């Protein structure tokens, strides 16, 4: 982690993990809460809070080189309470995995494979992820680096093709803003940057102890995702308008459907976006799946066996099938936010406070 070059795989890991469901659902959620053209400011505020929280997590982990949160929790708060905190974090990783792949399955069924049962789509994803996770972190990082340029290409292409459909009146008034509503929107935009908390897992195999490279990694990761989100917010608002965003379930995909090029050999541009987006969902799932595997194995003192891999895959698959429809799925996401508060803020805060008692902070 001495140079920016060595930081690149970690930056790609975080960007690939953070970009997920939020890019297709967040514009609607934020439009419902904020309801003004400047709602992209809530994205920037959410990114700033996520960055500060990520630095706080690093302050904890830097004192325990080559250890994960699953290692230090029992050490700081005792064996049983530590295992309980570990299980909460594992439940969080499994729950968020189930949520993102079920959302992906809903979109795939609606836009691509309307005759294919959701169970088949989910099963293919989980089995593919099981295989990749079984190969280890180094291969996961190589996979992310391989597909990252494709993801960026898809997003860049969608941006360039959507610019001509922007209606400037949808973006006005430019300077009007309601501070209270923008702050309310932060509650949803903050959770669109989850993924940086896996620093507490990644630190087990990467010596993350120096401020400068880690600040660079976190700044580039969260900053890049923030730029992409703000860009897509402006495109969504400009193409669809605030009022349409409030009623469209997946506005970014609808924005891609609005692209038209007469005489061009390819007409359904939303398929290009979905191709890149599905890869981001797979990379996000892989990161959280891997974290769940590490957490379970360290908590119950087992090896990364095929059986444990299958059990976690079965749990994710079962949870993803529980919501009866898209409305219940979004309600599930609301409860997931509470679990996220515990994993992103409460657990690091408790461990940080206990690290003083243990004399870990110098």
Q: pLDDT tens for residues 23-61?
A: 888 888 888 888 888 888 899 999 999 999 999 999 988
DSSP 233-299: HHHHHHHH-HHHHHH-SSHHHHHHHT---TT-S---HHHHHHHHHHHHHHHHHHHHHHHHHHHHHHH
User: Cis (ω within 30 of 0) for the bond into 173?
Assistant: yes
- Which residues have CB under 8 Å from 64's CB, separation 6+? 71, 72, 203, 360
What the block records as the tokens of 344 is 């992103």
Least confident of 95-104, 202-211, 277-286, 338-347: 202-211
pLDDT category, 176, cuts 50, 70, 90?
low
Cα 334 to Cα 337: distance, rounded to the nearest angstrom: 5
What the block records as the tokens of 150 is 């494709």
Query: In this predicted structure, what is the pLDDT of residue 361?
Result: 44
Residue 272 has pLDDT above 90, yes or no: no
Percent of the chain with pLDDT over 70: 93
Query: In this predicted structure, what is the pLDDT of residue 325?
Result: 84
Over residues 162-188, the mean pLDDT reads 79
Tell which residue, 97, 123, 93, has the closest CA to residue 108.
123
Torsion of the alpha carbons at 164, 167, 171 and 172, rounded to the nearest 10: 140
Least confident of 54-58, 144-148, 252-256, 280-284: 252-256
Indicate the CATH number for domain 7-350.
1.20.1740.10
pLDDT tens digits, 51-92: 999 999 999 888 888 888 998 999 888 889 999 999 999 999
Tell which residue, 281, 286, 266, has the closest CA to residue 151.
281
pLDDT category, 6, cuts 50, 70, 90?
low
Cα 126 to Cα 87: distance, rounded to the nearest angstrom: 21
Query: In this predicted structure, what is the pLDDT of residue 219?
Result: 93
Mean pLDDT, the chain, rounded, equals: 86
Query: In this predicted structure, what is the pLDDT of residue 131?
Result: 92
Query: In this predicted structure, what is the pLDDT of residue 263?
Result: 55
Q: Cα dist. 22→131, 193, 252 in Å? A: 26, 8, 10
Query: In this predicted structure, what is the pLDDT of residue 230?
Result: 92
Residue 311 has pLDDT above 60, yes or no: yes
Cα 128 to Cα 120: distance, rounded to the nearest angstrom: 12
| Domain assignments of the chain as residue spans, ordered by start | 7-350
What is this structure's pTM? Answer: 0.90
pLDDT category, 360, cuts 50, 70, 90?
very low
Cα 278 to Cα 271: distance, rounded to the nearest angstrom: 10
Query: In this predicted structure, what is the pLDDT of residue 84?
Result: 93
Query: In this predicted structure, what is the pLDDT of residue 87?
Result: 94
Over residues 169-191, the mean pLDDT reads 79
End-to-end CA distance of the chain: 23
Residue 262 has pLDDT above 80, yes or no: no
Over residues 7-28, the mean pLDDT reads 88
What backbone torsions phi and psi does residue 301 show, to the nearest 5 degrees?
55, 55
Query: In this predicted structure, what is the pLDDT of residue 329?
Result: 87
Over residues 323-339, the mean pLDDT reads 85
Over residues 180-190, the mean pLDDT reads 85
Query: In this predicted structure, what is the pLDDT of residue 225?
Result: 93
Cα 108 to Cα 105: distance, rounded to the nearest angstrom: 5
Residue 264 has pLDDT above 70, yes or no: no
Assess contact for 237 and 19: CB atoms under 8 A.
no
Residue 178 has pLDDT above 70, yes or no: no
How many other β-carbons are positioned within 10 Å of the β-carbon of residue 306? 10
Residue 3 has pLDDT above 60, yes or no: no
Sign of the C-alpha dihedral, residues 288, 294, 300, 303?
A: positive
């Amino acid at each position: 982690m001495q140079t920016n070059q060595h930081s690149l795989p970690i930056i790609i890991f975080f960007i690939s993990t953070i970009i997920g469901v939020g890019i297709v659902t967040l514009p609607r959620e934020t439009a419902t809460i904020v309801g003004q053209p400047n709602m992209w400011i809530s994205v920037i505020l959410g990114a700033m809070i996520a960055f500060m929280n990520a630095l706080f997590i690093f302050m904890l982990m830097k004192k325990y080189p080559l250890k994960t949160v699953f290692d230090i929790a029992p050490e700081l708060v005792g064996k049983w309470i530590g295992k309980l905190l570990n299980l909460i974090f594992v439940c969080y990783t499994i729950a968020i995995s189930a949520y993102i792949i079920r959302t992906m399955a809903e979109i795939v069924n609606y836009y691509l494979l309307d005759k294919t049962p959701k169970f088949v789509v989910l099963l293919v994803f989980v089995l593919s992820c099981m295989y990749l996770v079984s190969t280890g972190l180094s291969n996961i990082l190589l996979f992310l680096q391989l597909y990252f340029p494709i993801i960026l290409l898809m997003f860049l292409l969608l941006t360039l093709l959507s610019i001509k459909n922007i209606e400037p009146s949808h973006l006005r008034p430019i300077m009007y803003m309601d501070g209270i509503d923008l702050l309310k929107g932060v509650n949803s935009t903050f959770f669109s940057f989850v993924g940086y908390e896996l620093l507490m897992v990644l630190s087990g195999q990467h010596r993350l102890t120096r401020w400068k490279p880690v600040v660079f990694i976190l700044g580039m990761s969260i900053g890049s995702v923030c730029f992409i989100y703000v860009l897509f917010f402006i495109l969504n608002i400009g193409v669809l308008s605030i009022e349409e965003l409030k009623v469209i379930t997946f506005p970014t995909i609808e924005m891609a459907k609005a692209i038209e090029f007469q005489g061009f050999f390819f007409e359904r541009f939303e398929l290009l976006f979905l191709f890149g987006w599905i890869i981001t969902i797979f990379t996000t799932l892989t990161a959280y799946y891997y974290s769940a595997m590490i957490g379970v194995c360290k908590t119950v003192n087992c090896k990364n066996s095929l059986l444990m891999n299958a059990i976690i895959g079965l749990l994710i698959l079962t949870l993803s099938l529980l919501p009866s429809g898209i409305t219940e799925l979004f309600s599930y996401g609301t409860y997931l936010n509470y679990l996220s508060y515990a994993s992103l803020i409460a657990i690091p805060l408790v461990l940080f406070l206990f690290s003083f008692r243990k004399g870990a902070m110098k």
